[in-house]
Structure 1
Amino acid sequence: MSALCGAISIGSAHAASGVQQVTASVQSDYAKTKYPILFTHGMFGFSRLGVAAFGLDYWYQILPDLARNGSTVFAAQISPLESTEVRGEQLLAQVEDVRALTGKEKVNLIGHSHGGPTIRYIEIVRPQYVASLTGVGATFRGSKVADDLLANRGGAQFLSIATNYIIGPIIAFSQGNTGLKSNLNASLTSISEQGSSAFNQRYPTPALASTCSQNGATSRNGVYYYSWTGTSQVTNVLDVVDSAIAVLGPISYGSLNNDGLVPRCNTRFGKVIRDDYDWNHLDEVNQVLGIRGLFSTDPVSVYRQHANRLKLQGL
């Protein structure tokens, strides 16, 4: 199959708010969950850059595979750089779209990186809409990379200009939604360890244990919690973009116990499926273009297995 998500038999549609449904010729019901699955991207993220015939999906090859295996799947389109609350309100509108489109009262939410706290926001404001929350390399307790960038005022100001006025608008334009604004400072503040701690104090959850040596609650009031992450940095020298990004974590943390941006501890949430995949932060969503370590686990298969897990749980 072509690497780009425009292969024959794979399609998509957008609701007015930007949510993207991915469809495919169904080959099995292995991943046929009771409730639809809505995927939420992280910083600098997108639903798709370009058009269906020739575009790049953030969740590279993942959603078409789930659709082929019976899932009803959607990709959220929210600001690439904004606070958790702003992104959360944008996501809430798309959760309501998915409910209307499918006739289902609940959704399964999966969030990568800053998408983790963003999907938590939905449970905070509309718990009745949520069947499950799953974080992937998620910044539930933040990333010190953000704290360090914020502490470097000169560097942060330069990055803000570049991202708010160049990179962010390019991402928005490439998705066909120029209304998506970017605010790097708000984004970094939200995913910083300090900002994440404040968010978790305002909106506590039993899914986050008091220490990393413990596990959080796996469910509350019928909402189920899951997470997984990688702990590698440079996994393939051919993946230049990936490798460049993945050096930030070791600089901030002084250790290798992270995925290049987020430490293992800060991603642990609910039932930890696994916290040591041989992936870096972008490998977790099968980017860039599926390039990863030669013997590493296929991310596409992990998402497929998780959909089956949700199915067996009645979700």
Structure 2
Amino acid sequence: MLKWLLDSDPALRWQVERDLAGAPPEVWTATRHKIATEGFGAQLLARQDPDGQWAGGAFFPARFEPGPDTGQPWTATTWSLNMLREWGMDPAVLRANRTAELIAENSRWEYHDLPYWDGEVDVCINAWTLANGGWLGVDVSQLAHWFPEHQMADGGWNCEWVDGSKRSSFHSTINAVKGLLAYDVATGGTDETHAARRAGEEYLLERRLLYRLSTGEQVASWVDHFAYPVRWHYSAINALEYFREAAIVDDIPPDPRLADAVERVRAARQPDGTWLQAGRLPGDMWFEVDVPAGEPSKWLTLYGTRILSWWDSAQS
């Protein structure tokens, strides 16, 4: 399986080398540098507009008109930055061509024409903007302050707060804590952002990543839908990958309340050690980055393998 995983795009291979193959830093760092010049990363960079955006828009492509059969397109600026950051692209590549400054000058949110790096009202959009801004060296400290201001009494967040929702969402909360973690890593964060992130983590941990707090029943079938790219979608594997990263950053052991979710991931492992693609969210992409539904996914196998390795090593 390791040989199969290593035969992959640099965006994936450097993580396999670092996290599974035990390669020395000079090996996986060299592979990581190739993201800008080979494969997925280079292809996505080549699609950047001269004005710093992708597809001419902030969250949606320019002139996009949704219809009953059109999924969310994944080609605009926010989604493209998300992919480059998540793949491990060196931000210096984008800083060299003034991406952040060009976006500040040319990109506005479709919601009320607000300035890009100031964010808007959607929790998930603001979380991605916070993460991408910190990654690119933008001062997004005011946006970081937005999260504790909009945190709900139960500790989480809900993108529908603007419509009056008072209860948090698994989807919104995982994206919020991921954004705050990325900001903390990029900038060191503040006491306020650390506290907000930990309260959001506690919201999910109280529910053991899977269950309703009120009834103990599984929150929904989507917790077992393991897919790549992840986008905004909550699942047990997505949540565990976050808690693995956060534990490494915070230098703490895995929380015991993750156990049920870990066993969901373990149960999805195939006899050959792979995880199957459940099927990505519909919508236009610049190009495919993983296999069709039902086939072994290298991305999900990377995530599943390192989650189980992290968890099992802490139990011994």
TM-score relative to the length of structure 1: 0.28
- In our comparison, the structure showing a higher alpha carbon Rg is 2
Which has the bigger relative contact order, CA under 8 A and spacing at least 6? 1
TM-score by length of 2: 0.28
